[in-house]
Homo-oligomer: A and B are copies of this chain.
Amino acid sequence: MVITRATEYAVRTVVFLAQQEKNEIVLKKDICRTQDVTPAFLTKILQPLIKAGIVSSQRGVGGGFLLAKDPEQITLLDIFQAEEGQLKLNHCLVDVDVCHRDAYCSAHEVWYEAQMQMAQVLKSYSVSDLVKRQHEKLTQLKKCAP
């Protein structure tokens, strides 16, 4: 019942990309160095982001990664779903017909409501929100311990 490391790294990576100058291409190893991820694992994490249209990539010399959309257009839910597939709290919430009890199982609806609330929160934050917040936090930090 936890989000995976892959999702966490993916969020970090996208936020990092959003912090670069627009259209600036970033090397994989620079992402790794700054975000504490190993190159091999980062490769695996980036592919779903690319397929979801969140990140784009460029091969060859001078190649690397960059955001494929505006940071305002990317929500945390997008990143989550790119890595983990559709959000579901219980199997019966997605694979319809799997649960023959769902006609009378009242828990079903509660799981559904909890899931919707969670999705709502994740959808309400864009990557640019995160970048802004992070900036604020860092300037706060500097004030406290300059």
User: Could you tell me which A residues sit within 8 Å of B by CB distance?
Assistant: 1-4, 8, 11-12, 15, 76, 84, 87-91, 103-107, 109-111, 113-115, 117-118, 120-122, 125, 129-131, 133-134, 137-138, 141
Contacts and interface: CB of A to CB of B under 8 A. Distances in A.
A4 B1 contact: yes
Given A106-B133, A118-B118, A122-B110, A3 B1 contact: yes
A110 B12 CA distance: 13
A12 B107 CA distance: 8
Given A2-B88, A2-B91, A114 B107 contact: no
29 contacts: A1-B1, A1-B84, A1-B87, A1-B88, A2-B88, A2-B89, A3-B89, A3-B90, A3-B111, A8-B107, A11-B107, A12-B105, A15-B106, A76-B110, A104-B137, A104-B138, A104-B141, A105-B134, A106-B129, A106-B130, A106-B133, A107-B130, A109-B133, A110-B121, A114-B117, A114-B118, A114-B121, A117-B117, A118-B118
A13 B4 CA distance: 30
A51 to B, nearest CB: 19
Contact of A141 (B88, B89, B103, B138): B103
Contacts of A129: 106
Contacts of A109: 133
